[in-house]
Amino acid sequence: MGSIEQMTTIESGRTWHTSNSMQMTAALIALFAVVLASTTGCAPTVSRGGAGTKNPGLNDAALSTGLDKADLDYLVEENLNALFDSQFWQRRILDHPEEEQLITIFPIRNDTSEHLDDQLATLLGSIETFLVNSGSVGVVSRERQADMMREVGYQQGDAIDASSAARVGRQLGAKYYVTGKVGAVDEKMKKVRRVQYSLFLQVIEVETSMIRFQNETARSKAIKR
């Protein structure tokens, strides 16, 4: 009898251990599933947008009141289209195709309270591209221009004065130079904030310092909290 009771007790212990192990395993699997789900749920979702993708309008949405690529493209395109339609361009550039008229592009001044180094670099590149692709003028390399500006003591972010601009322009062999500024008017009312950006461009004749063209284009952005 003792032997049968002992065997029964051992078998019961084995059954308990087996059941307990299965419960622990099930609990660990459930915990792992929860952790995996939460980890997967927190993973970032990356999207590719623009022309040639399944999300061509990704770049259309504004994420803030800051200047983005769409704003810069608009400001540059409006100003350069006004330049190409101007009497200056028609009479002094297009009416003299026999002359290679060189233009250099000087830095655009930041008159806002925002840090715009990246945006201004993009803006200058866009202006350069428009002028080069017009096929009507020669455009001085910005790298060569930067070397000359360092010679006159220009520091990145500084405004270049008229005399220094004329000196650099002559050394580069340019007949005209493009310059300008970006401004902003920031307004807040209750939960709404609106920022009105403007790009003011001028084309100045190197030898005379005469303003041959100027134009201003505005772009507004707003956010409601």
Quick one: pLDDT at residue 29? 60
Both tokens of 132, joined, read 């080069």
200 falls within a domain = yes
Quick one: pLDDT at residue 195? 94
- Count the domains in the chain: 2
Quick one: pLDDT at residue 99? 80
Quick one: pLDDT at residue 180? 93
Q: Do residues 36 and 69 share a domain?
A: no
Q: What is the pLDDT along the chain (225 residues), one digit of tens a residue?
A: 555 555 555 555 555 455 556 666 655 565 565 555 555 556 677 878 778 887 887 777 778 888 999 999 999 999 999 999 999 999 999 998 878 899 999 889 999 999 999 999 999 999 999 999 999 999 998 777 777 777 766 665 566 777 778 888 888 889 999 999 999 999 998 889 999 999 999 999 999 999 999 999 999 999 988
Phi, psi of 144 (to 5 degrees): -65, -40
5 falls within a domain = yes
**Residue 150 one-letter amino acid:** R
Q: Is 103 exposed, middle or buried (0-12, 13-18, 19+ CB in 10 A)?
A: buried
Instruction: State how far Cα 69 lies from the chain centre.
Output: 5
Q: Model-level pTM?
A: 0.74
Q: Do residues 144 and 213 share a domain?
A: yes
Structural domain including 81 reads 62-224
Q: Do residues 24 and 117 share a domain?
A: no
Q: Which helix (H) or strand (E) holds 102?
A: strand 102-110
Q: 221: closest CA among 79, 63, 111?
A: 63
- H-type alpha helices, 93-197: 117-134, 142-151, 162-172
